[in-house]
Amino acid sequence: MAEKKDKKSTIAELRYEAMSTFTTLFTSAFGLVAALAWNETVKEAIDRYITPGAGLKSKLIYAILVTALAVIVSFQLGKLTARFKSDAED
């Protein structure tokens, strides 16, 4: 009887892990698409508001903006994940 429960538990864990992995994969794929869309938008905005011919300057501004945005979003997602983990443990 205990062996049957172990099998059910193992199957449930496998399903959870598979779904978790697929969710991560799909989220990453959509994140990449969104990042590429934002990439073009930010480039366009910099080209419009930075003096034409300021190639290195505009690329530097772009790199700084994207890096700052990535750090802020990553930090906030980390805090959110920690909160969900804390809620799940309670």
| Per-residue pLDDT reduced to its tens digit, 23-53 | 888 888 888 888 888 888 877 877 777 766 6
Q: How many CA atoms lie within 13 A of 47 on its CB side?
A: 6
Q: How confident is the model at residue 70 (pLDDT cuts 50, 70, 90)?
A: confident
What is each CA distance from 26 to 20, 38, 47, 83, in whole angstroms?
10, 18, 32, 23
Residue 77 pLDDT greater than 70, yes or no: yes
Residue 75 pLDDT greater than 80, yes or no: yes
pLDDT score for 79: 83
Residue 10 pLDDT greater than 70, yes or no: yes
Residues 6+ apart with CB under 8 A from 50: 57, 58, 61
